[in-house]
């Protein structure tokens, strides 16, 4: 976008208006007078500005330059400062952000803000520290290193470059030898090495890949071929393959092809705990540097990675959800691994689905998007049915790995020890006797979810939420898992003063306790959010497991994701039943995905694995379908049920949430919205509510919600296009905190 024309049109005396978006939760844009001195040619949409805002200053993003403001120009303030010489975002990225702001009905300033790393959003200058690269000259390539016999350190640097056959960056050289710097000058003088362009790395296609000896199986081959054929234009591929079927191998081979075209790849993962593993595998395969983007990095690290991709200095980025908006100089491919994972949906603020936005980004950039999963979301399978996505299937485990056997263990009327049936304990013993590992899965942390009085029935509740306090026995604490409230574990009932307090239900801590009693001579580790507080501690545990130092691993859902445990041959899900009876219509899908994902941890190598699910409902259709057939059969049935019920993906939803300290206000506010939209609804949109949220009170706030559902996406969005400015104006809007969730994945 060029504003020179607008500027030229301006008559003398007229002031130029900078229309900007500010990263605050209001929908409107803000008008400012042009700054005092500026270079007109440099004024492009997307540049960052500093503007006076309220009592202070804020960073703003230029949306457009206009010659007219609806506000009296004497009331307008002036832009204080221009921060960017040119926009850090490209026109296509801005288009994506404008689209996202419209689609998610979210303020543009916050959406644009989300595209920047924190440091840049706060106004840090975008100084790119470009690294120098060195490679060999023609004579450096052929010279015999022994000629440098008398300068052994120079000789070793020459040998290093001859060995790598690739330009090496300053970082890479430092990793090789901290004292490399003094060696460069003499080698440059001797014209054995030279400064290289980082891009030229890609030219060394032959040496791009370190270790690429795997022979793909026929399904992998046809998947790789299909995606390679689709490079250079938009298309969505859904790679469905059970755990261990070689999806990652497909990614690696496709990425290679993209790099050989001189293009960049963005790989998104649901969890940061998965990055070290993949990072290592990528590092083994590719000789070029990759950069990371996730929340455990410092602001500086994230900014550096973002700018490297933006400048085209780096070709591979591995990141979580928020990395999606990283600008790419030469975009080639976007990959989303574990596409079904709900962590791809941001649950607060700008509530976007990284999967859905990735698809739109692929379309705008005209590049393919590759979605991978062992258990694709029903949305994506539906898109395959509608021929929007192209399905690629890897039905077998790659190499020699054998698929695990799934079995149900009926625990009705069976004696249990803290959630473990005798038969399961027997199975654990047999597995351990073979020197193999056991993985036990329970999706509830803490000791027990309820503390109840045996005398009077009093229950420990959170004062601020509609929830029980969870017992954390080792620390002698009671904690609310929803608001973080905590208090000391009490010994006597505060209600009747006499009754005995009992722990009701099972958490990982309680199972860990019984395991240490039953298997006193074995090494047991518990992996859940409580045991993994420190940065890097999960990696340490994973390493111990893979070195065979651990016999029994007990954990929550964080274990269900992507980790390789080659020596685990027995996996048990202690309590599947708790997932079978939920009011959330997505519960069945999530449970089926969890079961399949967890079972994927068993027997990844040549040893066969076994997966045991303890249940009191062995005839439940969800369980029997997964058992006798597979995830795909489950998905087919589930999709048919959704269609019958008119639920997503056969309809579209927008959820309006409101909360306040006052118990009535959220409901009044939502009721006012119902009245507000009634005249605009031509009958195609169902309006459900307002109703109290499933957790009606949380962190001291009363919560209500209003669900809009329609088979006609366009009409649903049209309604909100019109309604949002009116909702903002409602007098109750000032008295509640409200939010809009488009395509909600969680109705809580």
Binding-site entries for Zn(2+): 453, 456, 462, 465, 480, 483, 493, 496
Residue 249 touches ligand ADP, criterion: CB under 6 A: yes
- In whole angstroms, the minimum distance from the beta carbon of 358 to ligand ADP comes to 19
Report the distance separating Cα 286 and Cα 278, nearest Å. 12
Residue 83 beta carbon to ligand ADP: minimum distance, rounded to whole angstroms: 42
| Least CB distance to ligand ADP at residue 536 (A) | 23
Give the CA distances from residue 27 to residues 407, 530, 535, 729, in Å, rounded to whole numbers and listed in that order.
53, 39, 37, 11
Evaluated on CA atoms 268, 274, 277, 279, the torsion sign reads positive
Interface contacts to Zn ion, rule CB under 5 A: 453, 455-456, 458, 462, 464-465, 480, 482-483, 485, 493, 495-496, 499
- With CB under 5 to 8 Å by kind, the binding choice for 618 among ligand ADP, Zn ion, none is none
Query: What span, in angstroms and rounded, lies between the C-alpha atoms of 164 and 159?
Result: 9
Nearer to Zn ion, 474 or 496 (CB): 496
Q: What is the gyration radius of the CA atoms in the chain, in angstroms?
A: 29
Report what 742 binds from Zn ion, ligand ADP, none; CB cut-off 5-8 Å by kind.
none
**CB-wise, 603 or 690, nearer to ligand ADP?**
603
For ligand ADP, give the closer residue by CB, 565 or 702.
565
Judged by beta carbon, residue 247 or residue 526, the one nearer ligand ADP is: 247
Written in H, E and C, the secondary structure of 25-58 is CCCCCEEEECCCCCCHHHCCCCCEEEEEECCEEE
> Do 577 and 615 form a contact (C-beta atoms < 8 A)?
yes
Residues 629-688 that bind ligand ADP (CB under 6 A): none
Residue 643, token pair as written in the block: 């269609």
- DSSP per residue over 122-191, as a string? TT------PPPEEEE-HHHHHS-GGGGTT-HHHHHHHHHHHHH-S-EEHHHHHHH-TT-HHHHHHHHHTT
The residue (of 416 and 699) whose beta carbon lies closer to Zn ion is: 699
Sole binder of ligand ADP in the list 248, 310, 508, 705 (CB under 6 A): 248
Query: Which range binds ligand ADP by CB under 6 A, 127-135, 237-245, 348-356, 486-494?
Result: 237-245
Q: Which entry of ligand ADP, Zn ion, none binds 483, CB below 5 to 8 A by partner kind?
A: Zn ion
Size of the site for ligand ADP (CB under 6 A): 15
Work out the burial of residue 251: count CB atoms within 10 Å of its CB; fewer than 13 is exposed, 13-18 middle, 19 or more buried. buried
Binding segment for ligand ADP (CB under 6 A), chosen from 246-254, 351-359, 428-436, 466-474, is 246-254
Which parts of 199-218 interact with ligand ADP (CB under 6 A)? 214-217
Binding string, residues 599-638; x marks residues near ligand ADP by CB under 6 A = ----------------------------------------
Q: Which is nearer to ligand ADP, 215 or 547 (CB)?
A: 215
Nearer of residues 37 and 215 to ligand ADP, judged by Cβ: 215
Task: Find the shortest distance in angstroms from Cβ 463 to ligand ADP.
Answer: 45
CA angle 502, 503, 509 (to 5 degrees): 150
Find how far residue 70's CA is from the centre of its chain.
41
By a kind-dependent CB cut-off of 5 to 8 A, residue 249 interacts, out of Zn ion, ligand ADP, none, with ligand ADP
Residue with tokens 């005396």: 13
Region from 55-63, 96-104, 241-249, 695-703 binding ligand ADP, contact rule CB under 6 A: 241-249
* Binding flags for ligand ADP, 389-428, as an x/- string (CB under 6 A): ---------xx-----------------------------
Residue 455 interface partner, choices Zn ion, ligand ADP, none, CB cut-off 5-8 Å depending on type: Zn ion
Residue 247 interacting partner from Zn ion, ligand ADP, none (CB closer than 5 to 8 Å by kind) = ligand ADP
- Give me the residue label for tokens 């490297």: 308
Those residues whose C-beta lies under 8 Å from the C-beta of residue 355, and which sit 6 or more positions away, are: 336, 339, 344, 371, 377, 380
Q: Which helix (H) or strand (E) holds 701?
A: strand 701-710
Q: Which does 307 bind (CB under 5 to 8 A by kind): ligand ADP, Zn ion, none?
A: none
Find the shortest distance in angstroms from Cβ 316 to ligand ADP.
17
Show the tokens assigned to 269: 């993962």
Binding mask 355-394 for ligand ADP (x = CB under 6 A): ----------------------------------------
CB of 644 within 8 A of CB of 387?
A: no
Site string for ligand ADP, 325-354 (x = CB under 6 A): ------------------------------
3-state secondary structure of 371: strand
- Residue 648: closest CA among 636, 639, 656: 639
Closer Cβ to Zn ion, 81 or 485, answer by number: 485
Residue whose CB is less far from ligand ADP, 113 or 600:
600
Contacts of 106 (CB under 8 A, 6+ apart): 100, 350, 351, 352, 740
Beta strands in 294-413 (DSSP E): 316-319, 331-337, 368-373, 389-394, 405-410
Name the residue nearer to Zn ion (CB basis): 244 or 505. 505
Q: Which is nearer to ligand ADP, 221 or 645 (CB)?
A: 221
Q: What are phi and psi of 364, to 5 degrees?
A: -65, -40
Q: Which residue lies nearer to ligand ADP by CB, 184 or 225? A: 225
Supply the minimum distance, in Å, between the C-beta of residue 699 and Zn ion: 6
Residue 220, contacted partner among Zn ion, ligand ADP, none, CB below 5-8 A by kind: ligand ADP
Task: Determine which helix (DSSP H) or strand (DSSP E) holds 610, and give its type and residue range.
Answer: strand 610-615
Beta bridge partners of 330: none
Identify which of 496, 545, 501 has the alpha carbon closest to the alpha carbon of residue 524.
545
Closest distance to ligand ADP from the beta carbon of 424 (Å): 26
Q: Among 87, 243, 264, 353, which residue interacts with ligand ADP (rule: CB under 6 A)?
A: 243
**Site mask for ligand ADP (CB under 6 A), range 217-236, x = bound:** x--x----------------
* Nearest distance, CB of residue 348 and Zn ion, angstroms: 17
Q: For strand 450-453 and strand 501-504, is the pairing parallel, antiparallel, or unpaired? A: antiparallel
Binding-site residues, in ranges, read: 453, 456, 462, 465, 480, 483, 493, 496
Q: Which does 495 bind (CB under 5 to 8 A by kind): Zn ion, ligand ADP, none?
A: Zn ion
Give strand pairing partners of 349.
Answer: none
Sign of the Cα pseudo-torsion (482, 485, 488, 491, in order): negative
Torsion of CA 262, 268, 274, 280, to 10 degrees: 0
Smaller CB separation from Zn ion, 464 or 620: 464
Residue for token pair 């419209």: 102
**Phi, psi of 588, deg, nearest 5:** -65, -45
Q: What are φ and ψ of residue 561, in 5° steps?
A: -100, 115
What does 89 interact with, of Zn ion, ligand ADP, none (CB < 5 to 8 A by kind)? none
Among 245, 380, 468, 732, binds ligand ADP (CB under 6 A): 245
| Partner whose binding site includes residue 458, from Zn ion, ligand ADP, none (CB under 5 to 8 Å by kind) | Zn ion
Q: Which does 217 bind (CB under 5 to 8 A by kind): Zn ion, ligand ADP, none?
A: ligand ADP
> Is residue 213 classed exposed, middle or buried when 0-12, 13-18 and 19+ CB atoms within 10 A define those classes?
exposed
CB of 243 to ligand ADP, least distance (A): 5
Residues that bind ligand ADP (CB under 6 A): 214-217, 220, 241, 243-249, 398-399
């Amino acid at each position: 976008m060029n504003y020179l024309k607008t500027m030229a049109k301006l008559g003398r005396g007229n002031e130029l208006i900078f229309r900007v978006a500010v990263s605050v939760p209001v929908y409107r844009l803000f008008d400012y007078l042009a700054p005092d001195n500026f270079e007109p040619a440099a004024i492009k949409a997307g540049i960052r500005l500093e503007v006076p805002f309220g009592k202070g200053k804020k960073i703003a993003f230029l949306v457009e330059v206009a010659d007219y403001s609806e506000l009296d120009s004497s009331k307008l303030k002036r832009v204080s400062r221009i921060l960017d010489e040119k926009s850090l975002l490209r026109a296509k990225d801005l288009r994506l952000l404008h689209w996202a702001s419209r689609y998610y009905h979210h303020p543009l300033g916050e959406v644009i803000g989300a595209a920047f790393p924190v440091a840049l959003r706060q106004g840090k200058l975008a100084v790119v520290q470009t690294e120098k690269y060195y490679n060999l000259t023609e004579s450096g390539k052929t010279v015999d290193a022994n000629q440098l016999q008398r300068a052994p350190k120079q000789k070793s640097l020459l040998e290093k470059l001859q060995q790598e056959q690739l330009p090496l960056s300053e970082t890479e050289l430092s990793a090789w030898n901290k004292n490399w710097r003094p060696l460069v000058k003499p080698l440059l003088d001797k014209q054995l090495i030279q400064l290289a362009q980082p891009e030229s790395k890609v030219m060394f296609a032959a040496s791009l890949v370190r270790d690429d000896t795997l022979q793909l199986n026929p399904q992998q081959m046809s998947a790789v071929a299909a995606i390679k054929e689709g490079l250079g234009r938009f298309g969505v591929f859904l790679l469905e393959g059970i755990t261990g079927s070689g999806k990652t191998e497909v990614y690696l081979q496709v990425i290679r092809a993209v790099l050989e075209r001189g293009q960049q790849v963005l790989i998104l993962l649901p969890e940061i705990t998965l990055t070290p593993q993949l990072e290592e595998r990528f590092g083994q395969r590719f000789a070029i540097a990759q950069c990371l983007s996730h929340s455990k990095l410092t602001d500086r690290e994230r900014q550096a990675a973002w700018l490297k991709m933006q400048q085209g200095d780096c070709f591979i980025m591995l990141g979580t959800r928020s990395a999606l908006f990283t600008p790419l100089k030469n975009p080639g491919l976007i990959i989303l691994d574990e596409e079904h994972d709900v962590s791809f949906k941001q649950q607060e603020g700008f509530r976007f689905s990284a999967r859905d936005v990735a698809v739109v980004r692929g379309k705008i950039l005209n590049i393919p998007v590759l979605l991978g999963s062992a258990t694709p979301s029903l949305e994506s399978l539906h898109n395959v049915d509608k021929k929007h996505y192209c399905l690629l299937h890897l039905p077998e485990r790659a190499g020699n790995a054998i698929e695990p056997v799934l079995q149900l263990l009926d625990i009705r009327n069976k004696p249990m020890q803290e959630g473990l049936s005798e038969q399961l304990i027997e199975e654990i013993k047999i597995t351990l006797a073979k020197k193999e590992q056991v993985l036990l899965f329970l999706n509830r942390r803490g000791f027990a979810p309820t503390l109840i009085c045996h005398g009077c029935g009093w229950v420990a509740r959170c004062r601020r939420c509609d929830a029980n306090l969870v017992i954390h026995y080792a620390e002698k604490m009671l904690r609310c898992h929803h608001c973080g409230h905590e208090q000391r574990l009490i010994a006597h009932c505060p209600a009747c003063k006499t009754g005995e307090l009992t722990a009701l239900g099972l958490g990982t801590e309680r199972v860990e306790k019984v395991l240490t009693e039953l298997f006193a001579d074995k090494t047991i580790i518990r992996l859940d959010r409580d045991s993994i507080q420190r940065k890097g501690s999960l990696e340490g545990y994973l390493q111990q497991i893979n070195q065979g130092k651990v016999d029994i691993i007990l954990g929550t859902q964080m274990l269900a994701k992507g980790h390789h445990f080659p020596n685990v041959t027995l996996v048990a899900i202690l309590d599947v039943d708790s997932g079978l009876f939920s009011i959330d219509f997505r519960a069945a899908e999530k449970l089926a995905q969890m079961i399949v994902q967890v079972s994927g941890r068993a027997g990844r190598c040549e040893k066969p694995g076994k997966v045991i699910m303890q249940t009191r409902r062995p005839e439940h259709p969800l369980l029997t379908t997964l058992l006798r057939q597979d995830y795909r059969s489950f998905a087919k049935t589930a999709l048919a049920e959704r269609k019958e019920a008119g639920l997503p993906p056969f309809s579209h939803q927008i959820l309006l949430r409101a909360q306040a300290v006052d118990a009535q206000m959220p409901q009044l506010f939502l009721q006012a919205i119902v009245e507000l939209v009634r005249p605009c609804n031509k009958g195609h949109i169902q309006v459900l509510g307002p109703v109290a949220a499933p957790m009606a009170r949380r962190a001291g706030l009363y919560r209500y919600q209003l669900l809009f559902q329609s088979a006609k996406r366009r009409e649903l969005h049209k309604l909100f296009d019109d309604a949002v400015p009116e909702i903002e104006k409602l007098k109750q809007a000032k008295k509640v905190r409200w939010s809009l969730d488009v395509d909600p994945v969680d109705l809580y």
